[in-house]
Structure 1
Amino acid sequence: MSILMDQEQIKGVIPHRDPFLLIDEIVEMEPGKRVVAKKYIKADDFWFRGHFPEKPVVPGVLIIEMLAQAGAVSMLSLDEHKGKIGFLGGVDKAKFRRMVVPGDVLTLEVEIIKIKGPVGVGKAVAHVDGEKAVTAEISFVLK
């Protein structure tokens, strides 16, 4: 897969910045419909200092945030939403199926399944080498 957007280009779409810009690149996207992003998990990622130093594991809630950021890039790439901010509105049906550890490449896929005005829902899946790590439905509000 080729890179459609790197981190600098992502910063032009969503307001997140270090240390909380949690996606590295966009590799597929149909704006407002679906997106595939990547996160390269490194041993020096900030969360591993406390979660857990002896057995580093990416916190599940941060994987949810990564999925939300990927979905935000898709929605905010539409002309009618440029300049807005996507806010997390809720998380439903979240399942944490696999630990994500340093060295993993996390693939983040979000399909927008419902939109009504500024509110929408995305079906989200994060996986490593095709093995599901997290699945959820993420709702959002664009303002």
Structure 2
Amino acid sequence: MSLISSQEAIGKLMPQQQPFVLVDRLIEYKPNHIVAGFRVPVEHILVDGGGRLTEAGVIEHFAQTIALHQGYDYFLRDMRPPVGYIGSIKNFEICQLPRVGDDLTTSIHILQQLFGVTMVQGAVKHGGQLIATGEMRTVIAKD
């Protein structure tokens, strides 16, 4: 059961817009945790000619899961979602590239948040199989 699965609602929670959106469901939200989902579509700018989501697509999906967490947090406080950037990637390992039609589930745990910088650890899975794991730091842009 998803908290939010409407493309329109997801679009209001993140600064990313089509055709660059790589999350389609908010499954679980806690102040220090999020689970998001994404079904890899046939037509997407980050799907290669062989029908697989590229490495950049997996990393961007991971980052957008963080953005969704921040956007939902801001929504709960009746604020506009922030624009953010990937600050750094650490110990990120992609075990396999997901195929078109694969339903990804990504769990992110917030390790630290301070002055607009968020450090997380997480994992991307498909049907219980590990797709990717790693740490990422994102930075909220100053207005």
SS in 2 for 1:47: coil
Amino acid at match of 1:20: F
1:57 maps to 2:40: no
1:74 maps to 2:69: yes
The answer as to whether partners of 1:90 and 1:138 remain within 8 angstroms in 2 is yes
Relative to structure 1, the CA distance from residue 20 to residue 105 in structure 2 (aligned partners, 3 Å threshold; closer, same or farther) is: same
Q: What percentage of aligned pairs have identical amino acids?
A: 21
Aligned to 1:43: 42
1:34 maps to 2:33: yes
The answer as to whether partners of 1:94 and 1:134 remain within 8 angstroms in 2 is yes
Relative to structure 1, the CA distance from residue 66 to residue 96 in structure 2 (aligned partners, 3 Å threshold; closer, same or farther) is: same
1:64, 1:82 → 2: CA distance? 26
Amino acid at match of 1:39: F
Aligned to 1:117: 115
2:56, 2:4 → 1: CA distance? 24
Specify every segment of 5 or more residues in structure 1 that has no aligned partner in the other structure, as ranges. Answer: none
The answer as to whether partners of 1:119 and 1:140 remain within 8 angstroms in 2 is yes
- Between 1:123-132 and 1:35-44, the stretch displaced more is 35-44
TM-score for the superposition, normalised by structure 2: 0.86
SS in 1 for 2:111: strand
The answer as to whether partners of 2:121 and 2:135 remain within 8 angstroms in 1 is yes
Specify every segment of 5 or more residues in structure 2 that has no aligned partner in the other structure, as ranges. Answer: none
TM-score for the superposition, normalised by structure 1: 0.86
Please report how far the alpha carbon of residue 81 of structure 1 lies from its aligned counterpart in structure 2 after TM superposition.
9.1
1:125, 1:28 → 2: CA distance? 14
Aligned to 1:100: 98
SS in 2 for 1:71: helix
Aligned length: 137
The answer as to whether partners of 1:75 and 1:81 remain within 8 angstroms in 2 is no
Let me know the Cα RMSD of the aligned residues.
1.7
Deviation string 1:8-30 (CA, Å, 9 cap, x unpaired) is: 11211211111011111111111
2:79, 2:32 → 1: CA distance? 15
